[in-house]
């Protein structure tokens, strides 16, 4: 008999986004370290069209940069909270991938380091956090 699969916690969702299971751009207030007690702040995850060349590789301006979902998380106090998530086109239009995205190391909850695309930009996180309803 199979058991029903439990929904992912916000920390598990964030880890999954950072570990490369989906194409995502991460904008954060600080370097990302999900180990308990190692970081606090806001993290924005922008999921992109699969197969997109959004993070670099836009030779001569080609490559799709369409955002399919946006999620905001807050780390702190030993936990992770999802503050907002949307896939609604009118809301997504308020978010753009910054041109200065680069490869960054992300430390997952178990201490594993993975490489992803993003930027550490507290000002942009603050600007985008004001755009959420």
Which residues, 6 or more positions from 123, have their beta carbon under 8 angstroms from its beta carbon? none
Contact 53, 64 (CB under 8 A): yes
Helix (H, G, I), strand (E, B) or coil at 105: strand
pTM here is 0.84
Helical ranges in 7-130 per DSSP H:
10-18, 89-92, 122-129
pLDDT at residue 58, rounded to an integer = 44
Q: pLDDT at position 50, please?
A: 73
In the chain, where are the structural domains located?
A: 10-54+62-129
pLDDT in tens, 44-79: 999 998 764 444 444 434 355 689 999 999 998 878
């Amino acid at each position: 008999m199979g058991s029903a699969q439990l929904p992912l916690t916000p920390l598990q969702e964030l880890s999954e986004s950072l570990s490369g299971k989906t194409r995502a751009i991460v904008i954060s207030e600080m370097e990302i370290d999900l180990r308990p007690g190692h970081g606090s702040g806001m993290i924005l995850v922008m999921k992109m069209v699969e197969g997109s060349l959004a993070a670099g590789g836009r030779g001569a301006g080609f490559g799709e940069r369409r955002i399919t979902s946006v999620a905001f998380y807050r780390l702190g106090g030993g936990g992770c909270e999802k503050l907002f998530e949307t896939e609604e086109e009118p809301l997504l239009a308020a978010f753009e991938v910054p041109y200065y995205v680069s490869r960054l190391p992300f430390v997952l909850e178990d201490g594993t380091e993975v490489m992803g695309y993003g930027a550490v930009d507290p000002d942009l996180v603050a600007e985008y956090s004001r755009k959420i309803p």
